[in-house]
């Protein structure tokens, strides 16, 4: 199998995203290796050695995705037996020309604590955890958005993703079996109706997920799942709560759609 290396002097997140976006266009399997925090010549030499050994072992030229700007380290990595893809080199010069200033590679590093928005993001994570699953119904004043939906429709991972990645204070509140007799927006949510965003999910997917957690229960039964979903969707429509069906979407997609539909601003770039 062809090896792909993601090498960086930091977290390697940028190199991973860059390489992954490209490799996902090819219907092939790859063996992936991340080498992060390559900050010294010694570590660069060790990384190069690892790439060269993999080249010998597999008999195929490894693909090496990196974004090094330090010339000493870049030269070492560029001298490996792999084929180098460095996306900075194609774009820095045109951007310098367009912006009329020189790039200053040491001024700032992405994915570090020095990003302006870092404290916001940690605060948002703490908020979302404290307000997960209806655990703190007195604290919705601070919420940027309140996700609602039945159990296992994707509220918790979506709230956490919104908080961690975008610094959005996302609370979430579950509609449970007890709410179903006469489903309405609870009084403590009414004052925050504009912040509500509904999640729903296909019945079969919900049955599968709940069965995985509690098989042969009323909770996981087809009848119960269908009834709960019917009721919440009716509520969303009646109350004009924006909502999405999460069945075919990842947390990344759900979160991006929520931002797109609500117009909430990301606290991270």
Site residues for its own copies, 133-172, by CB under 8 A, read 156-157, 160-161, 164
Q: Is 11 in the site for its own copies (CB under 8 A)?
A: yes
Is residue 46 near its own copies by the rule CB under 8 A? Answer: no
The secondary element (H helix, E strand) that includes residue 69 is none
* Least Å from the CB of residue 187 to its own copies: 28
Is 99 an interacting residue with respect to its own copies (CB under 8 A)? yes
Rounded Cα gap, residues 144 and 188, in angstroms: 16
Q: Which of 87, 211, 219, 231 touches its own copies (CB under 8 A)?
A: 87
- Closer by beta carbon to its own copies, 95 or else 191: 95
d(CA 20, CA 24): 6
Q: How many CB atoms lie within 10 A of CB 74?
A: 20
Give the Cα separation of 240 and 194 in Å (integer).
10
Stretch that binds its own copies, among 44-52, 179-187, 236-244, 256-264 (CB under 8 A): 256-264
Helices (H), the chain: 13-23, 41-58, 71-78, 87-99, 118-130, 155-166, 187-190, 203-213, 222-238, 251-262
Smallest distance from the beta carbon of 23 to its own copies, in angstroms?
Answer: 8
By CB under 8 A, the count of residues binding its own copies is 76
Contact 268, 114 (CB under 8 A): no
Residue of the chain from 7, 51, 63, 168 that contacts its own copies (CB under 8 A): 63
With binding defined as CB under 8 A, does residue 20 bind its own copies?
yes
Q: Give, in degrees to the nearest 5, the angle at Cα 263 between 262 and 268.
A: 115
Q: Figure out which of the listed residues 50, 52, 70, 85 binds its own copies, where binding follows CB under 8 A.
A: 85
Nearest to 145 by CA among 175, 169, 117, 173: 169
Residue 70 binds its own copies (CB under 8 A)? no
Q: How far is the CB of 48 from its own copies (least distance, A)?
A: 17
Nearer to its own copies, 130 or 222 (CB): 130
């Amino acid at each position: 199998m062809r090896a792909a290396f993601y090498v960086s002097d930091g977290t390697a997140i940028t190199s991973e995203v860059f390489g992954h976006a490209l490799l996902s266009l090819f219907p092939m399997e790859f063996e992936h290796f991340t080498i992060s925090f390559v900050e010294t010549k010694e570590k660069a030499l060790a990384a190069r050695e690892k790439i060269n050994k993999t080249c010998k072992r597999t008999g195929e030229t490894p693909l090496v995705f990196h974004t090094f700007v330090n010339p000493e380290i870049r030269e070492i990595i560029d001298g490996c037996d792999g084929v180098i893809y460095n996306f900075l080199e194609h774009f820095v010069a045109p951007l310098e020309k367009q912006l009329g200033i020189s790039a200053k590679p040491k001024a700032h590093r992405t994915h570090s604590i020095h990003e302006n928005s870092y404290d916001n993001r940690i605060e948002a994570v703490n908020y979302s955890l404290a307000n997960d699953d209806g655990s703190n119904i007195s604290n919705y004043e601070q919420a940027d958005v309140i996700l609602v939906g039945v159990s296992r429709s994707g509220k918790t991972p979506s709230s956490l993703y919104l908080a961690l990645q975008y610094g959005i204070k996302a609370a979430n509140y579950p509609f449970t079996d007890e709410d179903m007799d006469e489903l309405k927006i609870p009084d403590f949510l009414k004052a925050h109706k504009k912040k509500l965003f509904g999640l729903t999910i296909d019945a079969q997917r919900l049955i599968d997920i709940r069965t995985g957690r509690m098989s042969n229960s009323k909770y996981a039964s087809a009848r119960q799942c269908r009834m709960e979903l019917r009721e919440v969707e009716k509520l969303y429509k009646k109350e004009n709560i924006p909502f999405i069906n999460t069945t075919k979407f990842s947390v990344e997609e759900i979160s991006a759609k929520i931002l797109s539909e609500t117009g909430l601003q990301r606290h991270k770039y």
